[in-house]
């Protein structure tokens, strides 16, 4: 199937819808007001991620009706993505208690896994592991963690958008070179939906994504990675490698805050990327660095896994070690006063 005309249409729709959402937010004074926990200094419209959600889900409907994707893939992505986006939208415009949000996250993860068939057998250092029900539970926690960490990492201009676009581009290249061109449609369309939004979100941002958009991106990227795992275990490792910047920063930050006894559900500014943006005094260098790391460091390692037989788990370790060092260097998870 030729996705390119649809990709252009999705990017254009996202671009136009983000413009309309920005005007609506300004008219209704739906602004993100800076506070002590913010990384921005100017009141900025929020909720622009809805454009990504609407344009991508509309493309999913078209692809399913045209026979471009199977029912299982459509139901997993559409159902889980729509539910998380709706939950985030309600939280953006009011407040939902953390325990109910978390319950909703697991419901969406369970829905997606039901349609995907759970977690397939994975290869770990040359050994095939079929974890059965335990694997399904781990996959649910993986999806919930990924959608939450994506929300945590959406804290400076353009970073969540650049991450999604470069990860999707990397996945498309890997699929093409590895002999799986039939898988490229969904990541292409997701990347284009985010690209239309990025036009307005690029530093300095004219509108923010909001929880509806960031949570949606997190769970959709997770579902895409699990879909790929059913084709080849090595493809799952490549997705985990490509998502390394966000996974490492968020995980190192969470671990250090847990060890210190912080209330992890409270807002904070202790991610490595937030310390980096304050050190450089701007968001653009940090957002740009994320894109460069993804394309120059993580993508080549992911390609080695799929094209040259590098063990997926070993490739992930090689990819993550410098990211962990970088996160610690930029004080991920430490108190801001330090």
Question: Residues 291, 166: contact at Cβ < 8 Å?
Answer: yes
Dist. CA 332–CA 252, nearest whole Å: 7
Per-residue pLDDT of the chain (338 residues; tens, 9 = 90+): 666 889 999 999 999 999 999 999 998 887 877 665 656 667 889 899 999 999 999 999 999 999 989 999 999 999 999 999 999 999 877 778 888 999 999 999 999 999 999 999 998 888 888 989 999 999 999 999 999 999 999 999 999 999 999 999 999 999 999 999 999 999 999 999 999 999 999 999 999 999 999 999 999 999 999 999 999 999 999 999 999 999 999 999 999 999 988 877 777 889 999 999 999 999 999 999 999 999 999 999 999 999 999 999 999 999 999 999 999 999 999 987 64
Computed over every residue of the chain, the mean pLDDT equals 93
Residue 32, beta-bridge partner list: 44
18-69 pLDDT tens trace: 999 999 999 888 787 766 565 666 788 989 999 999 999 999 999 999 998 9
> Is residue 211 part of an annotated ligand binding site?
yes
233-252 pLDDT tens trace: 999 999 999 999 999 999 99
Question: Residues 274, 249: contact at Cβ < 8 Å?
Answer: no
CB-count exposure of residue 90 (10 Å: 0-12, 13-18, 19+):
middle
Q: Which of 14, 67, 306 has its CA nearest to residue 185? A: 67
* b/e code 39-75 from CB counts within 10 Å (16+ = b): bbeeebbbbbbbbbbbbbbbbbeebbeeebbeeebbb
> Is residue 35 part of an annotated ligand binding site?
no
Q: Which of 272, 278, 303, 277 has its CA nearest to residue 288? A: 277
Dist. CA 172–CA 169, nearest whole Å: 5
């Amino acid at each position: 199937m030729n996705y390119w005309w649809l990709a252009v249409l999705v990017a254009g729709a996202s671009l136009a819808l983000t413009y309309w959402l920005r005007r609506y937010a300004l008219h209704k004074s739906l602004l993100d007001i800076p506070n002590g926990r913010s990384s921005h200094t100017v009141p900025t419209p929020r909720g622009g991620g809805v454009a990504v959600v609407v344009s991508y889900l509309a493309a999913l409907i078209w692809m399913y009706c045209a026979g471009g994707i199977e029912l299982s893939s459509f139901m997993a992505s559409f159902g889980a993505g729509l539910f998380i986006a709706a939950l985030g939208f309600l939280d953006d415009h009011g407040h939902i208690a953390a325990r109910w949000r978390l319950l909703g996250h697991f419901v969406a993860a369970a829905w997606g896994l039901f349609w995907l068939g759970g977690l397939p057998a994975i290869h770990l250092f040359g050994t095939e592991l079929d974890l059965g029900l335990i694997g399904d539970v781990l996959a649910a926690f993986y999806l919930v963690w990924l959608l939450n960490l994506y929300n945590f990492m959406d804290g400076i201009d353009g970073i969540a958008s650049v991450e999604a676009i470069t990860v999707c581009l990397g996945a498309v290249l890997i699929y093409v070179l590895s002999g799986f061109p039939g898988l490229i449609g969904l990541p292409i369309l997701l990347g284009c939906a985010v690209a239309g939004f990025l036009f307005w979100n690029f530093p300095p941002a004219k509108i923010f994504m909001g929880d509806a958009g960031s949570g949606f991106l997190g769970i959709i990227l997770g579902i895409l990675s699990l879909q790929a795992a059913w084709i080849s275990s090595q493809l799952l490792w490549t997705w985990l490698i490509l998502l390394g910047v966000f996974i490492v920063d968020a995980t190192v930050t969470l671990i250090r805050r847990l060890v210190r006894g912080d209330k992890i559900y409270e807002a904070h500014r202790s991610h490595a990327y937030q310390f980096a943006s304050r050190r450089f005094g701007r968001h653009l260098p940090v957002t740009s660095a994320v894109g460069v790391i993804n394309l120059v460091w993580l993508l080549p390692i992911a390609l080695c896994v799929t094209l040259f037989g590098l063990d997926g788990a070993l490739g992930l370790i090689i990819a993550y070690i410098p990211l962990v060092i970088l996160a610690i260097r930029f004080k991920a998870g430490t108190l801001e006063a330090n």
